[in-house]
């Protein structure tokens, strides 16, 4: 008797797979036995060389999205815009783009296809910054808090979440809100590493209390995939991050990774907006938005710490990579590719 034919791998359709977080999620899904299908506009970038099926198109290409979701067991929507010059640009990418993906899922399901699990990537910025307690320490954000975004990007993600909850109740959607993410291939926090390599470490606000939940990318995508595979996460929203670090701890981890000391450059919160506006104006001269726009500068004035307790209860999530280990690997990657 011939051996039974191997069972086909479940298909995961991924948007944003050419980016930093998306490419790591693609690797995690491949590791878990999925056949990964990715939406790609032009350049496969970090997907180059991976056994990934390419679907050519973008978030506003209905035919490409229909092809992507066809037969998928999981739809992981990671694509989005993190900075732009206007709220309209961010909303078109993050709100309308998400709607287009979920419309494609709903159309495929209504046409008789099996309903896939859907993972939608939001952000801690959708919630807004932390409240500061009487002791000067931030109160970590939880999923029960009322969103109060302070940036255009955060508002676009909050609007996206509202649309998901209001208009796509019948779909099996899980929303994940990552905090600041770092690791190999990351290009925004890289600017902080590049400054530290030159001996400067800018700090806004207090240096000695938790100010940022900074999650290593492999911890994040592991948590995302775990949540996408558990029934308990259907219809739920989760922070997937770390308990929070002070800028002093981040600086120490970077100094250890770089093998050098840095000088703290204290930036008053009252002037960070002007710094962002200037950087944005200079970037406009070369047709490129810098990582620190005026919008991002507004966010930098605040503390961004979240609790991942809900994810821990759902799937046992806990970060495995600490700042020292994570930044050591990240800096080594930057150096290996000539970024530092």
pLDDT band per the 50, 70, 90 thresholds, residue 114: confident
Residue in the block written with tokens 């998901």? 164
Q: Which residues contact 199 (CB under 8 A, 6 or more apart)?
A: 260, 261, 262, 263
Residue 206 in this model has a pLDDT that exceeds 80 = yes
Residue 98 in this model has a pLDDT that exceeds 50 = yes
Percentages (nearest 5) of helix, strand, coil residues in the chain: 45, 15, 40
Q: Which residues contact 286 (CB under 8 A, 6 or more apart)?
A: none
Domains and CATH numbers, the chain: 11-336 (3.40.50.720)
Residue in the block written with tokens 């990537």? 121
Read off the pLDDT of residues 29-46 as tens digits, 9 standing for 90 and up.
999 999 999 999 999 999
Q: Which residues contact 146 (CB under 8 A, 6 or more apart)?
A: none
Continuous segment of H or E residues that includes residue 35: strand 35-40
Provide the pLDDT for residue 266.
Answer: 80
Q: Which of 153, 190, 317, 334 is catalytic?
A: 153
Q: Which of 199, 180, 321, 172 is nearest to 258 (CA)?
A: 199
pTM of the predicted protein model: 0.92
- Catalytic-residue membership of 34: no
Q: Helical H runs in the chain?
A: 20-31, 62-69, 87-91, 97-110, 152-167, 190-197, 217-228, 247-258, 269-285, 294-300, 309-315, 323-336
The encoded tokens of residue 137 equal 């320490």
């Amino acid at each position: 008797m011939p051996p039974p034919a191997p069972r086909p791998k479940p298909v995961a359709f991924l948007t944003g797979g050419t980016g930093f977080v998306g490419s790591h999620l693609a690797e995690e899904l491949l590791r878990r036995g999925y056949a990964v299908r990715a939406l790609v506009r032009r350049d496969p970038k970090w997907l180059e060389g991976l056994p990934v099926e390419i679907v050519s198109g973008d978030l506003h290409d209905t035919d490409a999205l229909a092809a992507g979701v066809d037969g998928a067991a999981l739809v992981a929507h990671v694509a989005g815009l993190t900075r732009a010059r206007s709220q309209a640009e961010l909303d078109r990418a993050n709100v309308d783009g998400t709607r287009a993906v979920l419309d494609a899922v709903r159309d495929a399901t209504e046409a008789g296809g099996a309903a896939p699990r859907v993972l939608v990537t939001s952000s801690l910025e959708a919630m807004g910054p932390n409240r500061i307690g009487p002791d000067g320490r931030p109160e970590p954000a939880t999923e029960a808090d009322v969103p109060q975004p302070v940036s255009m990007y955060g508002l676009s993600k909050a609007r996206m979440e509202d649309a998901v909850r209001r208009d796509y109740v019948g779909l099996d959607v899980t929303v994940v809100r990552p905090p600041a993410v770092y690791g190999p291939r990351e290009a925004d926090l890289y600017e902080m590493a590049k400054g530290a390599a030159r001996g400067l470490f800018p700090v806004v606000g207090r240096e000695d209390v938790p100010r940022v939940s900074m999650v290593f990318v492999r911890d994040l995508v592991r948590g995302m995939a775990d949540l996408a595979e558990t029934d308990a996460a259907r219809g739920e929203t989760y922070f997937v991050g770390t308990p929070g670090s002070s800028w002093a701890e981040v600086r120490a981890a970077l100094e250890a990774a770089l093998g050098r000391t840095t000088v703290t450059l204290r930036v008053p919160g009252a002037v960070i907006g002007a710094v962002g506006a200037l950087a944005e104006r200079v970037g406009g001269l070369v047709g490129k938005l810098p990582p620190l726009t005026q919008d991002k500068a507004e966010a930098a004035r605040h503390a961004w710490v979240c609790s991942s307790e809900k994810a821990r209860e759902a799937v046992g999530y806990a970060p495995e990579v600490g700042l020292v280990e994570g930044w050591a690997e990240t800096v080594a990657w930057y150096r290996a590719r000539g970024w530092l």
